Amino acid sequence: MIEKIQTLLQRVEAFAPQTAAEIEEFRIKVLGKKGELTALMEEFKSVAPELKRELGQKLNHLKSAALERINTLKGELEEKQMAQSSEVGDMSRPGSAEGLGSRHPISLVKNQIVEIFSRLGYTVAEGPEIEDDWHVFSALNFPPEHPARDMQDTFFIEKQPDILLRTHTSSIQVRTMEHQKPPIRVICPGRVFRNEAISYRAHCIFHQVEGLYIDKGVSFADMKQSLLYFAKELFGESATIRMRPSYFPFTEPSAEVDVSCNLCGGKGCNVCKGTGWLEIMGCGMVDPNVLTANGIDPKEYSGFAFGMGVERIAMLKYGVKDLRLYFENDVRFLHQFDSAL
């Protein structure tokens, strides 16, 4: 019997399987109910008492050696398989989720404004941020030394000749009139720059969308209807507008457009400062001087123009109280717009 124990121990120690199935087969053959070790245990019951001690120890050693060997072999095989699978990548594993970014609220609102006007037949025009005096001021009827230039504190890059950062995207409208004959119907989104102290309601960089429509017989009534349509599309069917007389060098007559406050429904709240109205843009009939300066005959053509600040519209739409939030890129702020269009 000692010999049997010895050979089995040797076989256990020499056992070198390739697969998990081989290990399992070996385990059953040795340790299973009808296995070799079990048979030896049976045989042990009938050995002479003086041999029991020695044989018992040997059997116990065989049993634990067999168990240990099987467990180590299993572990080694698993490790090998894992290493192999990570080399080629486990194609059946579910993919790791990619965190998707979202659009900035300014882009969301700008896109929406552009989309509404494109439904009215406007096409998008763009232009440079670094401009000259002609495209930002002179072609728009700002006379030299006229105080109107002070309305928009300008960042100058060079004084002689005047190279500056555009203060409004009306410069794009001038560039459009330069190379396009009426009818003209353009919408001009873009970044603008003004030398202003940064606060919760003002910034030195902001975004505008301006529009220009020139054709034969364009009237103030056309402008009013277009802007009313725009306000309803942006703020909802119940929105109404009102126009207050205003002044811009490039339009005559000019108006400031207010939309009924969408937060209180016009009753008056702290956002509309109790008035029931929110100012959203400037507009007016293109001044004949502007048409002439840009090679368009004011006797034949007329038109209207309008311009709005995207930050301001976004503040009203989303109830944002501090304009600086748009520029800080704090993800806690930006994530709130994840599900917006």
| Residue ranges binding ligand PHE (CB under 6 A) | 168, 170, 210, 248, 251, 282-284, 305-307
Judged by beta carbon, residue 117 or residue 306, the one nearer ligand PHE is 306
**Residue 188 C-beta: closest distance to ligand PHE, Å:** 9
Backbone φ, ψ for residue 284 (5° rounding): 170, 170
**Residue 332 C-beta: closest distance to ligand PHE, Å:** 31
**Residue 145 C-beta: closest distance to ligand PHE, Å:** 20
For residue 249, whether the previous peptide bond is cis, meaning omega lies within 30 degrees of 0, is no
E strand or H helix at 12, and its extent? helix 2-14
Judged by beta carbon, residue 141 or residue 262, the one nearer ligand PHE is 141
Judged by beta carbon, residue 234 or residue 286, the one nearer ligand PHE is 286
C-alpha of 305 from chain center: 31
* Number of alpha carbons in the 13 Å side-chain half-sphere of residue 228: 11
Judged by beta carbon, residue 235 or residue 306, the one nearer ligand PHE is 306
Judged by beta carbon, residue 306 or residue 337, the one nearer ligand PHE is 306
Q: Which two tokens stand for residue 12?
A: 């256990």
**Residue 277 C-beta: closest distance to ligand PHE, Å:** 18
Q: In this structure, are strands 205-215 and 163-165 parallel, antiparallel, or unpaired?
A: unpaired
Helix intervals (H) in 46-184:
49-88, 105-119, 133-136, 170-179
Query: Would you say 252 and 148 are in contact if contact means Cβ atoms under 8 Å apart?
Result: no
**Residue 282 C-beta: closest distance to ligand PHE, Å:** 3
The residue with its CB nearest to ligand PHE is: 307
**Residue 243 C-beta: closest distance to ligand PHE, Å:** 12
Judged by beta carbon, residue 171 or residue 262, the one nearer ligand PHE is 171
Burial class of residue 288, CB neighbours in 10 A (0-12, 13-18, 19+): middle
